[in-house]
Amino acid sequence: MSESSPIRAGFAVVNRNPSIAAIEIAWRWTFGLIGTILLLLGTRAFLAGLRVSEGDEQALHGQDPMMIAAALLHILQQDGVLIRLLAIIAAVAIPSAIVWIAAATLGRVATLKRLLPASRVNAAPIVGLNISRSALLVITVVGWYLWMVLCNILTATPAGPNYPLYLPLSLLSLLVIAPVWGILNWILSLAPLVAVRHGSNSWNAYSDTVPLVRRHRGEFVSVTTWLGLPRLAAMVIAFMIAVVVLIAIDSIIVGTVALAIITLAYSAFADYLYVVRLAAYAQVARELPIATAATPL
């Protein structure tokens, strides 16, 4: 890897200014904590309103997956359960989205100010881009749901659903919807760098990011791939350690604490790699000075 490597530049910038990684970890963990609390409260509110019969309770505590699935289906078929579930999902998702937009905007503004100290960072386009990412996720989920409903209609027969046809049709949605969402979300996450460089609004930042990605496609793919490998390795190691912990520890409390520590350690490492990747992207976009033999990083 040459001295002008964007990845080398990314590591050098973040290691010279550790507050960049600290801010990234702080805003992500803040959202994670608030989101977890909202999820737990929503789950508790949903479970509190369920009427579970003695037979369903025994099935849920059993070891037969078919009986557990049947018990859950019977519980969800109670009057008003689906409406209450949708209401609770909305009550959890909407505040979570608002918190994420606020935390992601403040966090990205703070990291970009330290990553690009010579540039003027405007929060307005970053807010718009984060709102667009949230809207994109909602559109993706709704689109996937509508596709699954269409698959159910297309495969319905008088004798019952045609599962051999339903399965490939449902998998087809993942092969189309997931990559499209991933690419668009990635471009929107990169656009704040372009917004800082051009001082443009959200739409212009997105419009300028697309040709930038086309011009430097190989460099962006290289940075994403090489920094994605250690993250994937860390995920595998964390998963293996978690499995060992679950097998070795009998106490639920101790096991939960251990799993929380493992998860937080992995999350911190992943967040660190994320800001390194952001700095490497800035190098590719020519926002950072390219290292040479006279100015080694």
Summarize pLDDT for 13-23 with one digit per residue, the tens: 999 999 999 99
Q: What percent of the chain has pLDDT over 90?
A: 47
Residue range 188-226, pLDDT digits in tens: 999 998 888 777 788 888 988 999 999 899 999 999 999
pLDDT bracket for residue 45 (50, 70, 90): confident
pTM of the model: 0.83
At 200 the pLDDT is 74
pLDDT at 297 exceeding the cut of 70: no
pLDDT at 271 exceeding the cut of 60: yes
pLDDT bracket for residue 104 (50, 70, 90): very high
Phi/psi for 160 (5° steps) reads 130, 180
pLDDT at 113 exceeding the cut of 50: yes
At 3 the pLDDT is 46
pLDDT at 1 exceeding the cut of 50: no
Tell me how crowded residue 18 is: count the other CB atoms within 10 A of its CB.
11
Q: What is the mean pLDDT of residues 139-161?
A: 83
pLDDT bracket for residue 238 (50, 70, 90): very high
Q: What is the mean pLDDT of residues 115-122?
A: 84
At 70 the pLDDT is 74
pLDDT bracket for residue 2 (50, 70, 90): very low
Residue ranges covered by each domain of the chain:
122-202, 216-297
Q: What percent of the chain has pLDDT over 70?
A: 91
